[in-house]
Amino acid sequence: MAVFRSANEPVDERRRKRVAALSLIGLSAFLAAQALMVRSYGSLQKRPPSWDQAIHMEIALDYQEAYKAGRWSSIMDLAPKPGMPPFPPLYHLALMHTYGSSDPAAAALWVNWCYLALLCFSLFFICFAFRPDWAALGAVIAFAASPGIQELLFTQLIDLPVVALVAAAYLAFLYSDDFKSWVPSLLLGAIFGIGMLHKWTFFSYLIPAYLSGMYALSNNKSRTKVLACTLIAAAICAPWYYRHIAMLVPRLFQASSDFAVPVTQGWAFLLYFLVSADSLGPLFWALGWVGLGIPSYRERSEKSWIVWAWVLTSYIFWAIVPNRQMRFLLPGFSALAVGMCGSWPTGLIWALAGFQLFGAVNYSNGWIAGIQIPLPLHDITLLPSNAPAAEDWHIEDVLRAAQGLSDPAKPVANLTVVANAPYFNATSFGWLARVLKLPTVHVRGVNKRICEFSQFVVLKDDKLGPAGVIEGLPEAARIINAPNGWFSRGYEKAGLWPLPDGSNAILYKQRQLSGPPIAGKGTQFTYYTSGPLTADDLKIELAPWDKTAADYPLIKVGASSIELRGVKVAHPALELENAVIMPAAEDKKAPEWDDVRFLKISRLRLLSAELDGADLKAYLEERVKGLHLDTLKLDKTVSVSGQISHLSFAAEFSVDLLDSPRRLKVTVLQARFGASAVPSGLLGAYREFTYPLTPSPETPFDIDLPSLTIKDGKLTIP
Q: Which amino acid is at 356?
A: Q
Check residue 262 and give its pLDDT.
65
Does residue 668 fall inside a structural domain?
A: yes
Closest CA relative to residue 597, chosen from 452, 391, 407 = 452
Q: H/E/C letters for each residue in 576-645? A: EEEEEEEECCCCCCCCCCCCEEEEECCEEEEEEEEEEHHHHHHHHHHHCCCEEEEEEEEECEEEEEEEEC
Sign of the Cα pseudo-torsion (166, 172, 177, 180, in order) = negative
Check: CB of residue 77 under 8 Å from CB of residue 93. no
pTM: 0.89
Residues of the chain with pLDDT under 70: 1-11, 250-264, 266, 531, 565, 588, 645, 684-685
Q: H/E/C letters for each residue in 667-712? A: EEEEEEECCEECCHHHHHHHHEEEEECCCCCCCCCEEECCCCEEEC
Domain stop point among 328, 356, 382: 382
Check residue 134 and give its pLDDT.
95
**Distances 494 to 258, 398, 399, 459 between C-alpha atoms, Å:** 37, 10, 12, 12
Q: How many residues does the chain have?
A: 718
Same domain, yes or no: 194 and 102: yes
How many CA atoms, within 13 angstroms, populate the side-chain half-sphere of residue 139? Answer: 34
Same domain, yes or no: 74 and 123: yes
Strand spans (E) along 328-389: 371-373, 380-382
Same domain, yes or no: 54 and 107: yes
Q: Which residues of 663-674 are buried (b: 16+ CB within 10 A; e: fewer)?
A: bbeeebeebeee
Same domain, yes or no: 300 and 186: yes
Check residue 7 and give its pLDDT.
42
Output DSSP code: residue 131: -
Same domain, yes or no: 280 and 180: yes
Same domain, yes or no: 484 and 546: no
CA dihedral 451, 456, 460, 464 (to 10 degrees): -30
Number of neighbouring beta carbons within 10 Å of residue 707: 8
Same domain, yes or no: 137 and 116: yes
Domain stop point among 322, 347, 382: 382
Check: CB of residue 635 under 8 Å from CB of residue 623. no
**Distances 621 to 103, 282, 466, 617, 630 between C-alpha atoms, Å:** 47, 51, 34, 6, 10
CATH for 408 = 3.40.190
Same domain, yes or no: 543 and 687: no
Does residue 707 fall inside a structural domain?
A: yes
Does residue 9 fall inside a structural domain?
A: no
Partnered with residue 556 across adjacent β-strands are 541, 575
Does residue 2 fall inside a structural domain?
A: no
Partnered with residue 711 across adjacent β-strands are 714
Check: CB of residue 189 under 8 Å from CB of residue 176. no
Sign of the Cα pseudo-torsion (232, 234, 240, 242, in order) = negative
Q: Which amino acid is at 384?
A: P
Q: Which residues of 218-254 are buried (b: 16+ CB within 10 A; e: fewer)?
A: eeeebeebbbebbebbbebbeebbbbbbbbbeeeeee
Does residue 4 fall inside a structural domain?
A: no
Partnered with residue 600 across adjacent β-strands are 580
Does residue 606 fall inside a structural domain?
A: no
Same domain, yes or no: 584 and 548: yes
Check: CB of residue 455 under 8 Å from CB of residue 443. no
**Distances 229 to 31, 172, 177, 304, 368 between C-alpha atoms, Å:** 31, 11, 13, 23, 48
Reported as a single tens digit per residue, the pLDDT across 222-232 is: 999 999 999 99
Closest CA relative to residue 593, chosen from 554, 542, 548 = 542
Same domain, yes or no: 225 and 81: yes
Q: At what angle do helices 326-333 and 271-280 cross, to 10 degrees?
A: 80
330 is in which domain, residue-wise? 16-382
Same domain, yes or no: 212 and 336: yes
- Please tell me the total count of domains within the chain: 4
Closest CA relative to residue 701, chosen from 414, 371, 365 = 414
Closest CA relative to residue 259, chosen from 268, 250, 246 = 268
Domain stop point among 347, 382, 417: 382
Reported as a single tens digit per residue, the pLDDT across 92-136 is: 999 999 998 899 999 999 999 999 999 999 999 999 999 999 999
Check residue 242 and give its pLDDT.
86
Same domain, yes or no: 596 and 701: no
- The rounded mean pLDDT for the chain is 90
The conformational region for residue 708 under phi > 0 = left, psi -120 to 50 = alpha, else beta, is beta
Check residue 533 and give its pLDDT.
78
Check residue 253 and give its pLDDT.
61
Output DSSP code: residue 370: -
**Distances 592 to 15, 260, 491, 495, 657 between C-alpha atoms, Å:** 88, 43, 18, 30, 37
Residue 664 main-chain phi, psi, to 5 deg = -105, 125
